[in-house]
Amino acid sequence: MARLPVYLRALQALQDRGTLTVSSEALATAAGVNSAKLRKDLSHLGSYGTRGVGYEVEYLVYQISRELGLTQDWAVAIIGIGNLGRALADYGGFGTRGFRIAALLDADPGMVGQSVASLDVRHIDSLEEVVRSKGVSIGVITTPATAAQGVATRLVEAGVTSILNFAPVVLNVPEGVDVRKVDLSIELQILAFHAQRRADGDGRGAERAGLELT
């Protein structure tokens, strides 16, 4: 489930605060979901709480980490060291959660050799070699839209089956390859859409429904 990471983060926050057990109700509030849904999610992954008490925080953290595969560490390559790529490379939040930035790649020769977040930027031509030698299993694409599909294809051919795509294009990949997309302007557009709906509802609803009279 896509909600497990959210639960995990909420649990880790509780753990930092020294909480030992938590009820589904409290955890659900912290994670922003319905408590029945949370219980079903947890029961579905086989974890057990204790009736009348709740869930043991530490045990649950371990179980979810295990289910998510965070007990192993994943080598991540970032392709496209522009502003966004650099921001991701510098972001410290990955290392603590089982992810290790293993390589930075870029097509610009002027970029190659520079050091970003204590890693040398290497040329995109060495993608296949880097993936092999560093054991990269997740590729993060932060290139311009035009380059993204080419990079994705090369990643897949090099054996990478998990891709996180920040470029604003729909990637075409063979079955069995998992692509997740993060698109900043799409998020803004969805916000604008809802904001407009709210504005329309607040007094101009008739206009949208075609019922304006005056």
Q: What are the residues binding DNA (CB under 7 A)?
A: 22-25, 33-37, 39-40, 42-43, 47-55
CA distances from residue 65 to 3, 50, 69, 115, 202 in whole angstroms, order as listed: 13, 20, 6, 32, 45
* Chosen from DNA, a second copy, none, partner binding at 62 (C-beta under 5 to 8 Å by type): none
Q: Which of 35, 47, 114, 162 lies at the binding interface for a second copy (CB under 8 A)?
A: 162
Residues forming beta bridges with residue 101, ordered by sequence position: 76
Decide if residue 62 touches a second copy (CB under 8 A): no
CB of 129 to a second copy, least distance (A): 22
Pick between residue 39 and residue 97 the one whose CB is nearest to DNA: 39
- Residue 43 contact, options a second copy, DNA, none, Cβ 5-8 Å cut-off depending on partner type: DNA
- Kindly give the pairing relationship between strand 99-106 and strand 55-56: unpaired
In whole angstroms, the minimum distance from the beta carbon of 211 to DNA comes to 19
Q: Which is nearer to DNA, 49 or 85 (CB)?
A: 49
For residue 188, state whether it binds a second copy (rule: CB under 8 A).
yes
What does the alpha-carbon distance between residue 30 and residue 13 come to, in Å, rounded to a whole number? 10
Residue 189 binds a second copy, judged by CB under 8 A:
yes
The 93-112 site mask, x for binding a second copy (CB under 8 A), equals xx--xxx-------------
List the one residue from 83, 115, 118, 214 that touches a second copy (CB under 8 A): 83
Closer to DNA by CB, 57 or 121: give it. 57
- Helices 4-16 and 57-68: crossing angle in degrees, nearest 10, is 140
Q: How far, in Å, CA of 143 to CA of 149, rounded? A: 10
Paired tokens of 95 = 């290392």
| Bridge partners, residue 122, by sequence | 105
List C-alpha distances in Å: 146 to 55, 129, 141, 152. Answer: 48, 23, 12, 11
- Measure the CA angle with vertex 88, ends 29 and 9; round to 5°: 20
Contact pick of 74, 107, 134, 158 for a second copy (by CB under 8 A): 74
Q: How far is the CB of 96 from DNA (least distance, A)?
A: 27
110 touches 135 (CB < 8 A):
no
β-partners of residue 15 are: none
* Binding-site ranges for a second copy (CB under 8 A): 2, 4-6, 8-10, 30-32, 67-70, 72, 74, 76, 82-84, 86-88, 90-91, 93-94, 97-99, 137-138, 161-164, 168-170, 176, 178, 180, 182-196, 198
